[in-house]
Amino acid sequence: SSFPAYISSVALGKLYHPDGECGLAIGAEKIGIPFAIPCMGSNSFEEIKSVSTGEPTRWLQLYVNPDREKTVDMIRRAEAIGTEALLITVDAPVFGKRERDRRNKVEVTPVNQQSGTNSSSSGVAAALQEFVDSTLTWSDLAWFRSVTKMKLVLKGVQRWEDAVMAAEAGLDGIVLSNHGGRQLDFARSGLELLAEVVPELRRRHLQMEVMMDGGVRRGTDVFKAVALGASAVGLGRAAIWALGSYGTDGVEAYLQILKSEFDLCMKLCGAKSVAEIGPEFVSCDFLQTHATAAPARTLAVGQYAPLKSAL
């Protein structure tokens, strides 16, 4: 990887731009970072492979289907295009209360699913819920190992105890995440979890890849996550904003900007390589202080002239 980041899986990329997941895949390949293909994407695995010019690193984000045969079929199709890792999503046994999503009520068709509804009066999440097995448990890991040789990663870990269990179970990695803040209000951020999880793993001499996503907007954010022990950070919303605004070219430009900011941050902090970035570069004194200022009402301030007092 050219720098410690990857493009996170975001469902239904064509809702944002006709290039869809293909645009994200092209941008990731050109900058040299992995792309996590969403299992509920707008482009097929074959379409994503067709736009590559080399041997890019691909992962598959997986919602486990209640029909395990359909899950196996998806895994096989992902393996056929050279996918290296399976990111098993564990933080969405049911989808959260996504009010904006419910109001949008767009029609959806995840092309990599073999059957199911195309629309829902309750929005995208409700339409996709039927593709998710809400009964997944730790005992299912043996089944995953029986059906694939891909690396196994748990996506959506929120507690250090689960991180320890994942390492002890022999998993290849975890993603610390609150699912973009869209699952449970007040769930802790991936960055805060890093500061708790990594020391617990090191104290027990447990080794595995620890990644995080959520809230990464600048190269300095990537640096902070790496300093707290992340091997890579996921890029979700910002990558989708770039895609939606400027298509494939926007994704490439965004990743170049982010990498340049990360490189600059390394230089200004005196780190010659990613391996030299450690916790001594950051302060965590207020990481668990969750009090924030209320958002300013910028629309009212910027658009309307205030009434003058009559007094």
Contacts 24+ apart (CB under 8 A), 268-272: 269/223
Residue 205 among the catalytic residues:
no
Calculate helix-pair angle for 190-203, 219-227, nearest 10 degrees: 20
Does residue 101 have an active-site annotation?
no
Task: Tell me which of 91, 133, 162, 172 is the catalytic residue.
Answer: 91
Query: Cβ of 305: how many Cβ atoms within 10 Å?
Result: 5
Whole-angstrom distance, CA of residue 118 vs CA of residue 131 = 12
Beta bridge partners of 5: 233
Catalytic residue among 6, 16, 19, 179: 179
DSSP 166: H
Q: How far is CA 11 from CA 21, 227, 296, 298, in A?
A: 9, 29, 30, 31
C-alpha dist (Å) from residue 236 to 11, 47, 64: 10, 21, 21
DSSP-based three-state secondary structure for 145: helix
Start-to-end CA distance of the chain, whole Å, equals 65
Distances (CA, A) of 243 to 23, 127, 194, 220, 254: 7, 24, 28, 22, 9
DSSP assigned state of 26: H
Distance CA 184, CA 138 (A): 21
Q: Under a CB-based contact definition with an 8 Å cutoff, are residues 36 and 87 in contact?
A: yes
Mapped onto helix, strand or coil, the DSSP state of residue 100 is helix
Distances (CA, A) of 232 to 58, 107, 207, 210, 226: 14, 33, 15, 7, 7
Catalytic one of 6, 16, 63, 254: 63
Catalytic residue positions, numbered: 63, 91, 179
